[in-house]
Chain A
Amino acid sequence: MKPSTRFDPISDLQARLRVNWPAIQKAQRKTLQTKNKIETLLKGLSSTDASTTVFGSLARNEWTSKSDVDWTMLVDGQADPQHHAVAREISRRLKKAGFADPGMTGIFGNMTFSHDLVQKIGGREDTNENTTRRVLLLQESVALGKAEARQRVLGLILSRYLNEDYGFKYGRLPVKVPRFLLNDIVRYWRTVTVDFVEKQRGQEGQGWALRNAKLRMSRKLIFATGMLRCFSCELLSPPEARRELIKHQSTAAMEQHLRGFMEMTALQVLALFLTELKINPKTARTLFSAYNSFLALLDNQAKREHLKNLHPDKIGSDPVYADVRTFTRNFQDALTALFFGDNKQLRDLTIFFGVF
């Protein structure tokens, strides 16, 4: 199955289920407008050696009214003192145009060099920041302007995950799932959940409820679709990719397949799997309805601000958080149905690769 840029699995799923997810559609439209605006704003600042790369809601096609621009200037080329000046110029132009600053983590809003992303996968030098940048580059990033550097780095990272996974490349197991990549995606998700508690402590509850909603929806979506992207090698890859791998121990075609899946948004991956694996329509409806409610809430400035200021002590009786609790639980239940209930192949893969 080769994903096409023209084919939108979300629209296709909506049509099949005869439903409408207005908040998702609105976020998609707003994303397109915002990307065009930023691309114009930053014209001339990217090169074949340095891609202006954005992450988060902008990359996921989930832009809402208070979204911020998580960006980095991804450098893959000869060292150049000018790179620093260009990065500052990106920051200056975005601020001048009124875009909110990236978060306080220091992961975005600066330069990132390809070397660490490609060479340091695992080991003590693979810092929390490096893992975050790498996994998000794979799963929720897009280049605005010249895309060559991002494409090269993404390809190199994928190539390492596949070529150094001897089980995937040479193993006798007939099931082909890139376990090295899958384990890093799982590791990242677990790190995010642990860091959530660390932030809760460090920020004394500030922003807890909003972060909690994001953790249970957009972060969990990235984890779930990261697993699906890996499982796509077994379930949705073209026959030639499998043949190249088994007959020639060549991962090139499988890398090409995975690149296609990495260029899709998380919701598109989810919609594609729901359609291709003929998942129970009830599960599909619940997943997307829950996500639609999440985006609608984020786009509602009053509710978003309310959640941002809501202390964890008060969530028990809070009506806005009650909504959050409902859609996040629905989302969790439907994910459980997808991975463990509705499709035997997916359940077997989840148990074999996702648990132990």
Chain B
Amino acid sequence: MRTIGFSTGALAYSDFRLGLKILSSTTAIAVELSALRETELEPLVNAIDSLNLAHFRYISVHAPSRYEPRHEPRIIALLKKVCERNWPIIVHPDTIHDFSAWNSFGGLLLVENMDKRNSTGRTGNELAAIFSKLPNAQLCFDLGHCRQVDPTMTESYSILTMFRSRLRQLHISEVNSRSTHDPLSEASIGAFEKISHLIPAEVPVILESPVGPDQVKEEIKHAQMALPTNGSSRSGRHEPRSNVAVV
């Protein structure tokens, strides 16, 4: 079974406490504490000691996705406190101004691949350029973003084969044409299933689907369907397997 959980930001916009409260009554065993807005980071870091996170096997923190260059040292200083707990930090590569400063996070820094609105970090080759500046950083692979860039999942295949050794976390959701997150659809589940065999079972999966508290359980089930581990593939529902004589 995969380690599956949610981003607090997907469950409760800009309110990590409510996100955690919703998750406390579910089977989620992983969480990403979201500080996507710059103003969310300091309150989150200050509150960490007071949060009940005991039932999560995996915890990470999402760094702000937009900030002014002059605020970068302060953001890095706050995130250092997260690092002390050995929690990975997810960062959008297009937000980084001073790569050398972010290099200090070493392997706890997880670079996320971007959606099609961005001009960098979308493909394997673009990520390679980023990793050349952050040689110790690891990968948070956003399947939804990559599917939006290439719905055939060939680019996902490329990224997973190029950076298999750096893969530390997944983001999963539907990403629509306006580049916002949606719950998983039949189409996205089928697409993700296509490359699921390339994702080791131990890599934690964070859902970014904006769902209500009563939909969390079903969305986790959808994620399990999208990313089957050995022997649990549902592909056979629709298509012939190799023992069918087609030719």
**Complex Cα gap A78–B194 (Å):** 26
Given A159-B152, A166-B239, A252:B194 Cβ within 8 A: yes
A252 touches B117 (CB 8 A): no
B197 touches A250 (CB 8 A): yes
Given A78-B177, A248-B197, A252-B194, A166:B153 Cβ within 8 A: no
Total interface residues on B, CB under 8 Å, equals 27
Encode contact with A along B153-193: 1 for CB under 8 Å, 0 otherwise: 11111100100000000000000011000000000000000
**Complex Cα gap A204–B153 (Å):** 49
For residue A171, which residues in chain B have a CB less than 8 angstroms away from its CB?
245-247
Total interface residues on A, CB under 8 Å, equals 28
Given A48-B117, A172-B247, A173-B247, A249:B157 Cβ within 8 A: no
**Complex Cα gap A169–B242 (Å):** 8
For residue A172, which residues in chain B have a CB less than 8 angstroms away from its CB?
242, 245-247
Query: A11: CB under 8 A from chain B?
Result: no
Query: A313: CB under 8 A from chain B?
Result: no
Query: A170: CB under 8 A from chain B?
Result: yes
B195 touches A250 (CB 8 A): yes
For residue A169, which residues in chain B have a CB less than 8 angstroms away from its CB?
239
A252 touches B177 (CB 8 A): no
Q: Name 20 extra pairs, CB < 8 A, besides A167-B246, A249-B242.
A: A148-B149, A152-B149, A152-B150, A155-B151, A159-B152, A159-B153, A166-B240, A166-B244, A170-B241, A171-B246, A171-B247, A249-B235, A250-B197, A252-B152, A252-B153, A253-B157, A255-B154, A255-B157, A256-B154, A259-B154
Partner of B151, one of A77, A156, A256, A259: A156
Give the A-binding residues of B (Cβ under 8 A): 116-117, 149-158, 161, 177-178, 194-195, 197, 235, 239-242, 244-247
Give the B-binding residues of A (Cβ under 8 A): 48, 77-78, 148, 151-152, 155-156, 158-159, 166-167, 169-173, 240, 244, 246, 248-250, 252-253, 255-256, 259
A170 touches B177 (CB 8 A): no
Closest to B118 in A: A48
B154 touches A166 (CB 8 A): no
B247 touches A155 (CB 8 A): no
**Complex Cα gap A238–B84 (Å):** 44
For residue A159, which residues in chain B have a CB less than 8 angstroms away from its CB?
151-154
A255 touches B246 (CB 8 A): no
For residue A255, which residues in chain B have a CB less than 8 angstroms away from its CB?
152, 154, 157
- Name the distance in Å between B44's Cβ and chain A's nearest Cβ: 33
For residue A248, which residues in chain B have a CB less than 8 angstroms away from its CB?
197
- Name the distance in Å between B208's Cβ and chain A's nearest Cβ: 21
**Complex Cα gap A318–B153 (Å):** 54
For residue A170, which residues in chain B have a CB less than 8 angstroms away from its CB?
239-242, 244, 246
Partner of A155, one of B116, B152, B241: B152
Given A48-B117, A77-B177, A250-B194, A155:B154 Cβ within 8 A: yes
Closest to B244 in A: A170
For residue B151, which residues in chain A have a CB less than 8 angstroms away from its CB?
152, 155-156, 159
**Complex Cα gap A78–B197 (Å):** 32
For residue B235, which residues in chain A have a CB less than 8 angstroms away from its CB?
249
Would you list 13 pairs from A and B whose C-beta atoms are within 8 A, ordered by A residue?
A77-B177, A152-B151, A166-B239, A166-B246, A167-B247, A170-B241, A170-B246, A172-B242, A249-B242, A250-B157, A250-B197, A252-B194, A256-B157
For residue B153, which residues in chain A have a CB less than 8 angstroms away from its CB?
159, 252
- Name the distance in Å between B199's Cβ and chain A's nearest Cβ: 12
